[in-house]
């Protein structure tokens, strides 16, 4: 590498960004030989109770808007200007809503360190014109640096409270990037495994939400645990098939990792995607109305992804090959009777 | 085969035996070219309201003791003598409590058809003197016939009500036995997949109950969905490792079948093993006392299997290789603090 200490910048400061910045700030302090003590965080500036959010974070050591009640270590430094936040960093941690990825990367061109590596904690896949891109690949392409990815059965709020959780990092370069990211993220309450299959990892993170809608439909129809577990299992198989059909380097073992079966189970047990679908069944409302009521008008990621996956498959005349994903789309968007989702299992 | 129609006998008539006899009786009627219409069922004779249980089943077409309220087709014929029930059968379906397997097989020697095949729906594994046997192998050995196995995320009561469920059949001989058993069991509401790995299938069916105890401990400690899914995932990995370490022919794909991940998910979501463990945490009672209260003194299969697996591993000095199974044993039987189960994940 040619550097003494890695300088870490976290790009994003929502609930997940703040939780992970807190964990990173703890970890870098324990490893001064590897990491610079200061963890810079780019914060989208806003006013909270008449003060700037960056000032609140830097003075009170708390992100009162997105992670209230949790103290941040004082080596977390919030910056409102993204170029100041990222300049000379060796490690960029991307943890921001997917709609901001492109504009954010554009601003980073030219200011990043020549030997910089990135990791994407961005949720979802990037659908554009019936194509699918991985956000890690897009970051890598735009900035000309390697980009790994992290995903797993972990909730921001639990990580912030130091409740035990597990996660998976997917990295092309296990020997260098994989090792550094393991040191940056792994700790007693956040158990990280590193794998090479960064593609399968990101596919799991997006498609699990579509499967959670199937689980929610099952719950809404009062189908019981056995039928619900049948949907989860078929969903797992379709996630794997999707990855292996449309991407290279997707391994079966990935689906045994935290980013695979564990995240899928927890998303189908609780979570807003499952809840929205359950409430949709028998409601005589559109999915948009249900989301308006339950999520204050935000879209649940699963419904959006179900639509995008359907368009992707339709463009390739392959909807029949993914009967569960297709049936979720038909029930949510085309008025198909919810009970017809059972047909996907009998396919 | 040299036979026109397969004669099917079901050995056992409890809740699961009665449900599956009902399904089989429906299926044979739809395929007269393959199967003899009469499905004989061996019933352990007992008196119910002053009448013999076999008479009740044959006259009223209902197993009032073990499957009340469900009508059995009139081609189900109950017989109290096991040799009468099995004589000349080409297909034996074993579905009885595991403690009766050996004595039952002994009675069948000599009366079974020369071209007979069997399938085991018996739950669990056979632990003897720190060794583990598969019940399908034991039936095969004692009777000198091939024996397949069936297991999956299905409940007897749901199958009886024709609610949609899935299951897996493991068979050494996919081309002949596998095909016949698929025709015998598969139907619209009971979706059967046939695989060759009858070993992995039976290991899943037994060890899932130990994992369900870990899930119940997690619930008892109020650990939340992410930690619980971490236990389920580690359990799945240890189930696979157990199979691959101690048996031949265990395939990773088996764990993606209904007998694998689906049955595990549903067992860890509901089920008596999970429930017993949850109630045990913080109760200041022994596991036997908890079982006495919740199960009327029956043992939950998971606690027994946890003990047997531990003895098996201890005899091989391999407890460290299976930290979750070992930790379940220590919490349930050795007074280890329940919170120590987290150590199994950090192992």
Of A196, A223, A249, the residue that ends a domain is A196
The answer on pLDDT for B192 being more than 90 is yes
Prediction ipTM score: 0.94
Kindly tell me if the per-residue pLDDT of A269 is higher than 80: yes
pLDDT at position A207: 98
pLDDT at A297: 72
CA distance A22 to chain B (A): 20
* Average pLDDT rounded to a whole number, residues A156-183: 95
What's A165's domain CATH number?
3.40.50.720
Res A2: pLDDT: 47
Domain co-membership, B287 together with B260: yes
* B265 alpha-carbon distance from chain centroid: 16
Is-contact A117 A177, C-beta < 8 A? yes
- Whether residue B158 and residue A224 make contact (CB cut-off 8 A), yes or no, is yes
B156 labelled as ligand-binding?
Answer: yes
Backbone angles phi, psi at A205, to 5 degrees: -60, -30
Q: How would residue A266 be classed by pLDDT, with cut points 50, 70 and 90?
A: very high
The reply to whether A189 falls in a domain is: yes
Tokens of A150: 């992290």
Residue-level pLDDT at A62: 98
Residues B210, B318, single domain; the answer is yes
DSSP result, A9-29 = EEE--SHHHHHHHHHHHHHHH
Judge whether residue A334 has pLDDT over 80. Answer: yes
φ, ψ (nearest 5 deg) of residue B197: -80, 75
Q: Please state the φ and ψ torsions of residue B323, each to the nearest 5 degrees.
A: -60, -35
What band does B1 get if pLDDT is binned at 50, 70 and 90?
very low
Same domain, A170 and A277: no
Is residue A245 domain-shared with residue A156, that is, in the same domain?
no
Residue A319: which pLDDT band, with cuts at 50, 70 and 90? very high
Show residues of chain B in contact with A232, CB under 8 Å: 261-262, 265
- For A320, the enclosing helix (H) or strand (E) is none
Structure confidence by residue, pLDDT tens digits, B137-156: 999 999 999 999 999 998 89
List the alpha helices (DSSP H) in A109-256: 135-143, 156-160, 179-185, 198-220, 224-246
Lowest mean pLDDT across A195-199, B2-6, B129-133: B2-6
The rounded mean pLDDT for chain B is: 95
> Is B1 a member of any domain?
no
Is residue B213 included in any domain, yes or no? yes
d(CA A340, CA B58): 38
Q: Is B31 on the interface with A (CB under 8 A)?
A: no
In the sheet with B76-79, reading across from the earlier edge strand, the strands are B76-79, B35-42, B6-11, B91-94, B117-120, B147-151, B165-170, B190-195
pLDDT for residue B197 is more than 70: yes
CA dist A235 to A191, A232, A321, A325, A326, Å?
25, 5, 12, 8, 11
Residues A171 and A158 in one domain: yes
Active-site amino acid positions of B: 208
Q: What is the CA radius of gyration of chain B?
A: 20
| Distance (Å) from the alpha carbon of B105 to chain A's nearest alpha carbon | 32
Q: Flag whether A135 is marked binding.
A: no
- Please check whether residue B270 touches A, CB under 8 A: yes
Does residue A56 carry a pLDDT above 70? yes
3 state DSSP class of A191: strand
Helix axes B101-108, B135-143, angle to 10 degrees: 20
> CA nearest B192 in A: which residue?
A346
User: Per residue in B281-318, pLDDT tens?
Assistant: 999 999 999 999 998 877 889 999 999 999 999 999 99
Contact of B170 with B148, CB cutoff 8 Å: yes
Structure confidence at residue B295 (pLDDT): 87
Residues of A in contact with B237 (CB under 8 A): 256
Question: CB–CB of A172/A198 below 8 Å?
Answer: yes
pLDDT of residue A58: 98
For residue B113, the model assigns a pLDDT of 86
Q: Is B233 labeled as ligand-binding? A: no
DSSP state of A261: I
Burial class (CB in 10 A: 0-12, 13-18, 19+), B213: buried
Tell whether A258 is within 8 A of chain B (Cβ). yes
Nearest residue in chain B measured CA to CA from A253: B252
Q: Are residues B155 and B141 in the same domain?
A: yes
Of A21-30, A127-136, B198-207, the poorest mean pLDDT is in: A127-136
Residues B37 and B161 in one domain: yes
State the residue for tokens 């368009």: A311
Count: domains in chain A? 2
Pairing of strands A126-128, A131-133: antiparallel
* A314 in any annotated domain: yes
Chain B hits for A190, CB-CB cut-off 8 Å, are none
pLDDT at A76 over 60: yes
**Residue B66: inside a domain:** yes
Percent of chain B having pLDDT more than 70? 99
Q: Is A76 helix (H, G, I), strand (E, B) or coil?
A: strand
Tell me if A259 is assigned to some domain: yes
Q: Choose the final residue of a domain: A196, A214, A249.
A: A196
Q: Which residue of B has its CA nearest to A191?
A: B346
> b/e for A104-138, b at 16 or more Cβ within 10 A?
bbeebeeebbeebbbbbbbbbbbbeeeebebbbbb
A221 touches chain B (CB under 8 A): no
Residue B154 annotated as part of some ligand binding site: no
Please check whether residues A61 and A73 belong to one and the same domain. Answer: yes
Lowest mean pLDDT among A75-79, A118-122, A316-320, B222-226: B222-226
CA dist B196 and B142 (Å) reads: 21
Count of residues for chain B?
A: 347
* Mean pLDDT to the nearest integer, B270-287: 94
Shared-domain flag, residues A14 and A108: yes
Same domain, B284 and B242: yes
Q: Do residue B99 and residue B216 come from a single domain?
A: no
Nearest chain B Cα distance for residue A95, angstroms: 20
Return phi, psi of residue B194, to 5°: -105, 130
Residue ending a domain, among A196, A224, A245, is A196
Q: Please tell me whether B173 is known to bind a ligand.
A: no
pLDDT in tens, A194-227: 999 999 999 999 999 999 999 999 999 999 899 9
Q: How many residue pairs from chains A and B have C-beta atoms closer than 8 A?
A: 122
Give catalytic residues of A, as residue numbers.
208
Give the model's pLDDT for residue A1.
45
CATH number for the domain harbouring residue B227: 1.10.1040.10
Residue B336 belongs to a domain: yes
Nearest-by-CA chain A residue for B158: A226
B165 inside 8 A of chain A by CB: yes
CA–CA separation, B300 vs A254, rounded Å?
Answer: 33
What's the 3-state SS for chain B? CCCCCEEEEEECCCHHHHHHHHHHHHHHHHCCCCEEEEEEEECCCCEECCEEHHHHHHHHCCCCCCCCCCCCCCCEEEECCHHHHHCCCCEEEECCCHHHHHHHHHHHCCCCCCCCEEEECCCCCEEECCEEECHHHHHHHHHCCCEEEEECCCCHHHHHCCCCEEEEEECCCHHHHHHHHHHHHCECCEEEEEECCHHHHHHHHHHHHHHHHHHHHHHHCCCHHHHHHHHHHHHHHHHHHHHHHHCCCCCHHHHHCHHHHHHHHHHHHCCHHHHHHHHHCCCCCCHHHHHHHHHCCCCCHHHHHHHHHHHHHHHCCCHHHCHHHHHHHHHHHCCCCHHHHHHHHHC
Which structural domain range is residue A73 located in?
Answer: 6-196
What pLDDT does residue A113 have?
A: 86
Q: Return the residue matching tokens 């792994």.
A: A186
- Per-residue pLDDT, averaged over A251-257, amounts to 98
Q: Is residue A1 part of a domain?
A: no
Indicate whether B136 pLDDT > 60.
yes
- Other beta carbons within 10 angstroms of residue A339's beta carbon come to 13
Residues B211 and B161 reside in one and the same domain: no
Q: What is the pTM of this model?
A: 0.94
CA distance B212 to chain A (A): 14
Q: Given B228, B233, B266, which is nearest A229 (Cβ)?
A: B266
Helix axes B272-280, B198-220, angle to 10 degrees: 30
């Amino acid at each position: 590498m040619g550097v003494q200490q890695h300088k870490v910048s976290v790009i994003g400061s929502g609930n997940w960004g703040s939780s992970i910045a807190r964990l990173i700030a703890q970890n870098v302090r324990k490893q001064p030989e590897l990491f610079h003590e200061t963890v810079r965080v780019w914060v989208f500036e806003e006013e909270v109770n008449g003060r700037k959010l960056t000032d609140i974070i830097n003075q009170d050591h708390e992100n009162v808007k997105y992670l209230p009640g949790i103290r941040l270590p004082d080596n977390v430094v919030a910056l409102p200007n993204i170029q100041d936040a990222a300049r000379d960093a060796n490690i960029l941690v991307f943890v921001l809503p997917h709609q901001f990825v492109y504009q954010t990367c554009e601003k980073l061109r030219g200011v990043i360190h020549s030997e910089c590596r990135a990791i994407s904690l961005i949720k979802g896949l990037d659908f554009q014109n019936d194509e699918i891109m991985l956000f890690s690949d897009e970051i890598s392409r735009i900035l000309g640096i390697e980009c790994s990815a992290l995903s797993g059965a972990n909730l921001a709020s639990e990580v912030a409270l130091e409740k035990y959780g597990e996660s998976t990092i997917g990295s092309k370069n296990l020997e260098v990037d994989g090792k550094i990211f393991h040191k940056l993220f792994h700790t007693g309450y956040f158990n990280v495994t590193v794998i090479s299959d960064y593609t399968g990892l990101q596919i799991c993170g997006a498609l699990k939400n579509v499967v959670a809608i199937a689980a929610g439909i099952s719950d809404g129809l009062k189908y019981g645990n056995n039928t619900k577990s049948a949907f989860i299992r078929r969903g797992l198989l379709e996630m794997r098939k999707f990855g292996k059909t449309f991407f290279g380097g997707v391994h079966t073992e990935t689906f045994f990792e935290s980013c695979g079966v564990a995240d899928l189970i927890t998303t189908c047990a609780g979570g807003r995607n499952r809840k929205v679908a359950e409430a949709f069944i028998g409601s005589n409302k559109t999915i948009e109305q249900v989301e308006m009521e339950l999520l204050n008008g935000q879209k649940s990621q699963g419904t959006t992804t179900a639509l995008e996956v359907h368009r992707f498959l339709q463009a390739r005349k392959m909807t029949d090959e993914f009967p569960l994903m297709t049936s979720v789309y038909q029930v949510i968007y085309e008025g198909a009777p919810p009970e017809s989702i059972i047909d996907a299992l009998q396919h």
